[in-house]
Structure 1
């Protein structure tokens, strides 16, 4: 999987300058017209993780691909993108129009109850697409227009107002039924397995010795997916023929091989980044899954 797209990467990809008040790690908000970000006839957005949220009003014909579903977008649709769930999209229309806003989680810190990821449109496995009528499209466009005006105003509390406008979009969507134009998996087991695999994969690549592999057990994933661990294990076994534990171990072993071959980190650093407290525990794990010691594999 490609590395996470940062805000800096986003602005660079759109040939835009970072706002003058931008400070890395602090709350950030911005809004754009889609047609202003249509670069060089670009018809596809690459599949990647992002470190910011995005809400889009899209018009035309598109297909969005998520970890466990694809969404056909026709005419007017309100879309919500969670940074934890990679996506890509294809454009089938000749022209693009609409709006989108981007914001970091810290933009909402201490301003709303709970996590943004608890909202249905941002939850993993949730419903990100909301089909609109022509009149509803006009209502949503008006909210985005107010956001644009407010962002460029001198009002001292404009960011509080912008947070309210974002929540207005959220509640506008919650009052409507999610789009049904989804390519659904053939059964619940397939869908649960797909989201599990996405959650596993988005923990990689390990890019620094300070980064740690977090979810290492089936129970960790079951808690994140809000399902019983036995239900997750049965779904994964039915779909893949392998246990949840085996799939986690296989992916962990593959990452260990990559780190051994492509970094100069020592064995202890690699083991620690992969969640092992002791180097000996990592060595035992690696030997079990590759029949080789880490040091031997690195030097072959």
Structure 2
């Protein structure tokens, strides 16, 4: 089920799939930003514009015109005509158009695009990109005009040679973000069909995307069951119940097994000291990690490494 739902989607994958050109040099200089008219893009392989669950490496703000659905772990949002959707790399979702007249615009950008600017903005600190909520907003006729104006201004600015155009584009993206944060999110409906399989797959995807640990600069951010439940916008008890039914293990057991697997690799295949491994795996101190490792394996980290 996992392979059917989840794909890795880098920026290069996005451009190749949609037949668009990757702007030369932009990723090296300022992170990445681009804006598109959605009706001009399509999947070159399938000819459609269905967006699968994927590990997107970028943020996305979409102005959607036409009937569609946005599916999250166990919730579905029905989009009747016009909506504004904010997507973060941390929360997988599935966009499914329901008619042949889908239009609108969207922009994609990386966190580096904002951290490279003067403000040093951290996107994940903004309310609209926080886990545990669905950032999809229905638009009125007046709001559509205002959103379209911002997107069209972005689109026009991308073709200019203005020296400070990316500073201006950052401001326009922030205008969209603040606009969305003032709107009332759309209601999500419970979706029981295949929900357990989808929740299980998305949990595993969130768990696996943190590995492998290849640098001392990396650290696990999701360590507790509640961390994963918040990202999937479901209650932690519901996540535990689903994972127990599907896998036979609790959320904590699945996390512990994967952490131990990575700990063994780091102990045997790197020269990192125990404190460094402990920190990278998200433990508060070396003693806590040593106790955890011994409880799971009957060995201390030092003994296992010998």
Q: TM-score, normalised on structure 2?
A: 0.70
> Within 5 A, what are the aligned runs for 1:1-300?
2=6, 4-24=8-28, 26-40=30-44, 41-109=47-115, 111-112=118-119, 115-180=122-187, 182-184=188-190, 201-205=205-209, 206-207=211-212, 209-210=214-215, 213-217=220-224, 221=227, 246-253=250-257, 267-269=268-270, 272=277, 284=294, 287=297
**Alignment partner, residue 301 of structure 2:** none
CA distance in 1, matches of 2:293, 2:183: 53
Distance 1:154 1:202, change over 3 A: same
Q: Tell me by how many angstroms 1:178 deviates.
A: 1.6
Q: Which runs of 5+ in 2 are unaligned?
A: 299-303
Q: How far did 1:80 drift? A: 0.4
RMSD over equivalenced CA pairs, Å: 4.2
Segment drifting more, 50-59 vs 8-17: 8-17
State which drifts further: 54-63 or 195-204.
195-204
Task: From the superposition, tell whether residues 214 and 128 of structure 1 become closer, same or farther in structure 2 (CA, over 3 Å).
Answer: closer
Normalising by structure 1, report the TM-score: 0.72
Q: Distance in 2 between matches of 1:92 and 1:234?
A: 33
What count of residue pairs does the alignment treat as equivalent?
A: 271
- Could you tell me how far apart the structure 1 residues matched to 2:28 and 2:207 are? 22
3-state secondary structure, aligned to 1:49: strand
Instruction: Flag the 1:201–1:252 CA change in 2: closer, same or farther, 3 A.
Output: farther
Residue 145 (structure 1) shift = 0.6
